[in-house]
Structure formats: structure tokens, C-alpha cells
Amino acid sequence: MRAGALPLFIVALTSVGCAPDVVEPDGFVRMPSSVPPAMTPPTPSPTMTTGSDGGTAAGSCDLSGRWLIAQRVLTTALGQQQAAHTWFYYEIEQRDANLVVTRGLHCGFAVVKKTSLAASVDSSSSWPVLLEKNTSTGRRGTYVKDGSNCRLLLDTEYVVRGATVAAYTDPKRPLPTRTEKATGTTPGWEDWDGDGQPGISLKVSSSLASGTLYSVQRDWTRYEGIASAHGPKFKVSIGYGSEHVPLGRSMGAPQAIESKSSLSSDPAQHYAWFARLGDGQAAGTPEQICAAVRMLKDQLLPEAAQ
């Protein structure tokens, strides 16, 4: 699968209904048509980018190696701001300007409140299945010289959470509702947490509304921006869109945990940080690598936790 982040991956707290609201890249929430506009990125991804060194010359820009990536998206719900953070592990090979992710692990996500009445969201019960079912392996892009810096482009990829991945990676296919459980060869929502509830379980905590939200999610990301050609870490802008279908909530939880959220209209609030990993850092099995990524993220990329 060409898999988000949140992400989000993100909490994307949406009002109850059979059709999900859609958060578009410009930050506005619109009701979906037959093809959800947020799931159709604005520009097709090119296979090659021209830099100042020529059509396929990367110059001193080379992403080959192992990377910890921390992605951040800012949203607003009930007038309060929260940041959704997603963490990845990438092994990248690059030839000339063209690169490919030869191993891309999805290591989890969380939502952190930014204002006093906002919600925090714990999705850790889903992390093992996110790692199992989502991957960025095979994602392609370019990294080329751009003046004294480098320009990165990573092709658009889709992430599905809580539903049959092979079916719902197709953005033209509506996400399943509560009555559409996956059975046999029929796609639908799946119990990713193994808790007997549909989709993924998000533990929402705030002074306004708390409880567990059950949901399915689909989002896309596209990384594109100028990065420093020097140093062990850099930051790039991202394009992002998501849709979400609430499938229920825990007993006693208020409906407010399903309140709508919208993407910040300030593009500077949505970004990804890359940190090059040293020998011995984040090694072992996929589970061990992701555990190390979650431990190292604040040490190597404290800027991404904002």
C-alpha cells in the first residue's frame, strides 16, 4: 500500500453521520461528493524534478540512509487547537535525483492539546496494527540541489486506519459505516485494537469531553519543500487531507468527542522533520525499531513536538 500519517491519522473528530466531512488541503471542511475532494491531491506527483545542477543531478543532496521522521499537523475543534503527531522510520536509496523508500515503517501517532480546553488523544492500542498494516515501502520522490539548499518531493501516499487497507486505499471508495463490517472477502471496518469495537479506538481526554471514540480514517500526505543541504536534520512542508467516519463511542461518553475539527489554514503549521539515524540507533525487528523511534523522537527532533 502507498500509505500518513496521521495520522492521521489525526483525531479528525467529526460529527456523527453516514457520510464523513472532508478536510481539504486549504483548511476548509466540505461535504464529500462521489470523489472526496480532500482525497484528491491538488497536483499529480512528478517522477523527476529539475534542480540547479540539471535534470537528474542531485549535486550534494543525498538522502540515502536511515531516517526518523516526525510529522505534525495542526487542527481546531470546538474552538480549541490540537496538534497531531505521527512518527515514521525510513530507509532510503537515492540514484542521481531520484529516491525510493526501501523500508518505511509507521510507528504510531498521538494528538496533543495546544490550548487549555483542547483534547489529547491516545491511539497507542492501535500502534501494533498500524505497523503491521501500513507501510511507506516503495514511496518515491526526488531530492535535488536548489541554490545552496535542496528541494525534496515525496510522492502522495494514502493511509487507511481501521478498515480493509487494500480496498479503501482507493480514494474513490467511500469509507465504511457502522453497518459495513469486513467479512470474508467483503471489505469494511475491522477491529484493529482487538477490543471488540469497530475500527481503531481513540482515547479522547479533555475538560470538555472525554471517552473512547471508535472510527475509521483515511488521509493523504505529500512532502514538498526546501531543506538544508547541511546538517543531520531538516524540516519540509507537507500537503495533507483527511476524512473520517465515527463508528461509535464508549458508554457514557458525550457526543462532543465526535465534534468536527478543521485543518489550520496556515500552511506553516503542517510540516515534517527528518533526522538522520546513526549506526546502532533504531535497529532490530520492526517492533524494536518503532519503539526506538518513539523514544528518540523527542531527543533528536524536539522541534517537531511543538
Distances 143 to 31, 63, 99, 148 between C-alpha atoms, Å: 36, 7, 7, 13
Question: Hunting for cell 500500500 — which residue is that?
Answer: 1
Say which residue the cell 520522490 belongs to: 141
pLDDT at 260: 67
Structure confidence at residue 207 (pLDDT): 78
Pairing of β 80-95 and β 271-276: unpaired
Give yes or no for a contact between 43 and 29, defined as CB atoms under 8 angstroms apart: no
- List 211's β-bridge partners, or say none: 204
Give per-10-residue mean pLDDT for the chain (306 aa): 37 36 33 43 47 44 96 84 94 97 97 83 94 97 94 96 96 96 95 96 86 94 88 92 91 78 86 95 97 96 89
Q: Which pLDDT score is estimated for 38? A: 52
pLDDT at residue 39 in the model: 58
The Cβ-side half-sphere exposure at 136, using a 13 Å CA radius, reads: 30
Dig out the grid coordinates for 300 from the structure. 533528536
Judged on CB neighbours under 10 Å (0-12, 13-18, 19+), 133 is buried
Are 290 and 277 within 8 A, CB to CB?
no
Exposure string over 44-73, b if 16+ CB within 10 A, otherwise e: ebeeebebebeeeebbebbbeebbbbbbbb
b/e per residue, 271-293, with b = 16+ CB within 10 A? bbbbbebeeebbeeebeebbbbb
pLDDT of residue 94: 97
Contact indicator for 269, 74 with CB cutoff of 8 Å? yes
> Is 37 within 8 Å of 23 (Cβ atoms)?
no
